[in-house]
Amino acid sequence: MKYIDYLKGEHTAHMAMFNALEPIFASISNVGIAMQQCIKNGGKILIMGNGGSAADAQHIAAEIVGRFKKERKGMAAIALTTDTSILTSVGNDFGYDYIFARQIEALCRPEDLVIGITTSGNSANVVRAMEAAKAIGATTVGLTGDMGGKLTAICDHNLVMPSSVTARIQEAHIFVGHSLCEILESD
């Protein structure tokens, strides 16, 4: 019974965050449609982030390649967070800020869609990668929080969670990720 009040407070904050998402539903829908078009046009979805956002990138990529709810053929998605040899070699040779940008240079094509996940919108390695994707001509999506950070000036689509609390932003990110997977499968 010691943590009941704490849990009530967290639940209230969580629900307030989810209630505040309704204004971005149209933007989420537009990103889902862009993902459908990417796959229809033979593109792939490249996803990245750091820490918890790296885990979210891997989770979303797994849902796209495997399945979310619907039995279907696999769709092309890559989490740029998973190859430790690339991450450590690029980090060592070029610097940590380039671990995703170098992969974008090597793997991204104009028909692709790139999702950068960062709660602040300011993670230097995600920002550099999104700049690289933009230069290639890929569709870019920022999945952020607070005010959206530097990614808002770079990305074609910005899904900004209306909170400055990392835990709340991350909870909303996985809801958005699942929603995008559902939209992607619905076509």
pLDDT in tens, 113-129: 999 999 999 999 999 99
pLDDT at 98: 98
Tokens of 4: 């009941």
**Integer-rounded Cα radius of gyration of the chain:** 16
State the Cα–Cα distance between residues 163 and 45, nearest whole angstrom: 26
AA letter at 121: G
Q: Is the pLDDT of residue 70 over 80?
A: yes
State the Cα–Cα distance between residues 155 and 153, nearest whole angstrom: 6
Q: What is the mean pLDDT of the chain?
A: 97
Which CATH number belongs to the domain containing residue 146 in this structure?
3.40.50.10490
Say which residue the tokens 């610097």 belong to.
95
Say which residue the tokens 């009040």 belong to.
5
Q: Is the pLDDT of residue 87 over 90?
A: yes
The number of folded domains in the chain is 1
Q: Is the pLDDT of residue 1 over 90?
A: no
Kindly report whether the global pTM for this prediction surpasses the value 0.95: yes
The domain in which residue 36 lies consists of 4-186
pLDDT at 187: 74
Residue 158 banded pLDDT, cuts 50, 70, 90:
very high
147 in Cβ contact with 66 (< 8 Å):
no
Tokens of 63: 């849902």
Which of helix, strand or coil describes residue 76? coil
State the Cα–Cα distance between residues 33 and 31, nearest whole angstrom: 5
Q: Is the pLDDT of residue 60 over 90?
A: yes
